[in-house]
Amino acid sequence: MPAVAADSFDGCLARLRAPALKTGVSAATFDTHTATLAPDMSVLDLLDFQPEFRTPIWDYMAALVDDERVTDGQAGMERWRADLQRASARYGVDPAVIAAVWGVESNYGQTLGERSLLVSLSTLSCYGRRQAYFRGEFFATLKIIQDEGIAPEKLRGSWAGAFGQTQFMPSTYLRLAVDGDGDGRRDLIDSVPDALASTANFLKHAGWNGGMAWGYEVRLPAGFNAAGAGRKNKRALSHWAGQGITRADGRPLPASDAQAALLLPAGRGGPAFLVTRNFDALYSYNAAESYALAIAHLSDRLRGGGPLVQAWPTDDPGLSRAERRELQTLLIARGYDIGEPDGLIGAHTRNALQKAQRELGLPADGRAGQKVLRALRGDAG
């Protein structure tokens, strides 16, 4: 990434001052919290690489909905049972759905993000795509500091500015965060009850219907014409039943006129789903169908449901986080310096994988899948 002249960034911030003041940010707040800001240009690389859109769905789902996340989530639901039930009763959202968002967004509070919101959002306000959007989030962050009394050093999160236990964007915090523990503050960072209640409030405003499922994994009849698939192409469940579609376990669909759409995230040969407007509410959290499906499926698993019935259409399925850590451990044993085995497949792991794949006679694509894991196990053995 090329260097950025300081006057270019400082000039951008100077131009943002007046628009910020129009949103209610005081001059003192703006001047105080922008005086020493410097851009972090690494966020621009992340802006153009979002796993929801670039990662094969079987890799994405394998890491987000694994046995570890299910076990941890069920333990978290037990620990925070009273708060989940309170949020569910108030906002009409199923406790397992609230917990699934918590699990996908921050691994139940274990991964909140380390980047300064002020640094990331000021950078994205001045460089790259979607500057107008990120300026709104930058101004919202300044308002949180000003009006909510949250110290700027506490506001750390993702590269895009999401923060807290359930990763709200700053503008979403201002609109929808609520006080779940009754202490008079809206704290999504250190208060799990606030985060759970705020997430339920978000989903309620997104149109969640407490009397409806998010959808179902389904089985398509032989020769089914999938031309009508698509999240926005909703028909009554009775229509789909009339087309010969059943639940994946063979049970009939509910006898209902509720509207649902056929979702085929990996095409006709992979798992199929009928999704309702509740799926759309999950989608609104992060505008990616793979993301919404991960939350939906995790919520089913947290209630005691099993894995998907239909396998993904690949001969090289993805790895769980435990398997990713095992793969990294095997790479370290081969002499590759990739840091601690954390289950995150970053540039160092991908580069080491490419070299190991060449040694093992596999396509050197740097992808962490079952084939390379089995080959590494066999070679180590």
- The pair of three-digit structure tokens given for residue 255, joined into one six-digit string: 């006898």
With contact defined as beta carbons under 8 Å apart, do 43 and 116 qualify? no
CA distance 229 to 91: 31
* DSSP, residue by residue, 260-288: EEEE-TT-TTS-EEEE-HHHHHHHHHHS-
CA distance 117 to 134: 11
With contact defined as beta carbons under 8 Å apart, do 188 and 198 qualify? yes
With contact defined as beta carbons under 8 Å apart, do 23 and 139 qualify? yes
* DSSP, residue by residue, 62-121: HHHS-HHHHHHHHHHHHHTHHHHHHHHHHH---HHHHHHHHHHHHTTTT----EEHHHHH
Residues annotated as catalytic are 105
For the chain, state the CA radius of gyration: 23
- The total of other beta-carbon atoms located within 10 Å of residue 364's CB is 15
The edge-to-edge listing of strands for the beta sheet with 259-263 is: 235-236, 259-263, 272-275, 215-219, 246-247
- The pair of three-digit structure tokens given for residue 203, joined into one six-digit string: 């989903």
